[in-house]
Amino acid sequence: MPPRPVDISLIISSRNRVYGLTNCLDAVSIAARQADYLRLELVFVDNGSTDETSDVVRQWASTAPIKTNLIYEAKPGLAVARNTGLHAARGRVLAFTDDDCEIFPDYFSTLAALFSSDTEMVMRGGRIELGDTRDLPVTIKPEMEPAVLSSELHAGGFIHGANMAFPHGLVEKIGFFDTRFGAGSPFRSGEDTDYVHRAFNAGVRVEYLPDFAVKHFHGRRELADIKRLQTGYAFGNGALYAKYLFDRRSNMRGMLRWEIRQALMEAIGRRKLNEELGLTYRSQLRDNLTGMLAYWRGPKAKQPA
């Protein structure tokens, strides 16, 4: 008898971050118990950890109220790990969060309701709250107003990889994550932005909905940490601008023009990115251009099998 289909697969990848991992997993347990009428699975990808990550997950899974598939993926890179999770996941809906996040108790039930009445393919991203008020307010998305991605909006940050979901059919439609992007890759970030952009270009509706939410415990409390983070994001965005520069369907050229305009306006004193955090449009554009050059000099695309 073939295995019963799974309603939702939650995919989490982790590398050497055993501290705090139990909190992430316990939040999954709470949400799974609240949605015990659903067929759920957790696909946890240990991305080459040298600490006790796999042991912690294995011990937790022995009593967890959710079927858990623990996979060890030796090749580093967030996009690599996410692709490994996609290959293993059996859910009709595929959801992603990060190992430093805690999903809300109604996470699974809310996701199931959102995707239950779709008549077309929809990709969705949810709210990301700051988990610890001692952390600086970055890598979050606390907006309470729903939104739909359009050609006038930048895919970057519209929805975040720390809280996104889409039907399994999207993988068949647009393929896997580009492993040149994302943490641990040549272009450092942007694997989620690239995936959102590809979905949008393929005619898929992309929504931000605050209804399903996670808390992000990112631990960044120093301005130097934020500057490094922003540099990585801008570098990855620059590589994306280069990737789509000659694609007429893409609005990435428009986004690059926007970056240039903001830097020029800042130079004459009419724009500021974030003075409090020490971020500027000019440094962002510099990192964009560095990322573009790295893309043109870097490895060519290779579609994961």
pLDDT digits (tens, 9 = 90+) for 32-47: 999 999 999 999 999 9
pLDDT top residue among 100 and 271: 100
Mean pLDDT of 109-131: 97
Long-range contacts of residues 134-140, Cβ cutoff 8 Å, at least 24 apart: 134/221, 135/217, 135/218, 135/219, 135/220, 135/221, 136/220, 136/221, 136/223, 136/225, 136/226, 136/277, 138/218, 138/220, 138/226, 138/229, 138/277, 139/216, 139/218, 139/220, 139/229, 140/216
Mean pLDDT of 272-283: 87
**CA dihedral for 63, 22, 143, 171, sign (positive or negative):** negative
% the chain with pLDDT above 90: 91
The whole-chain average pLDDT of the chain stands at 95
pLDDT of residue 3 exceeding 70, the answer is no
pLDDT of residue 97 exceeding 50, the answer is yes
Secondary structure (DSSP) of 61-74: HTT-SSEEEEEE--
SS3 135: coil
pLDDT band at 224 (very low <50, low <70, confident <90, very high): very high
Res 302: pLDDT: 61
Res 269: pLDDT: 87
pLDDT digits (tens, 9 = 90+) for 142-162: 999 999 999 999 999 999 999
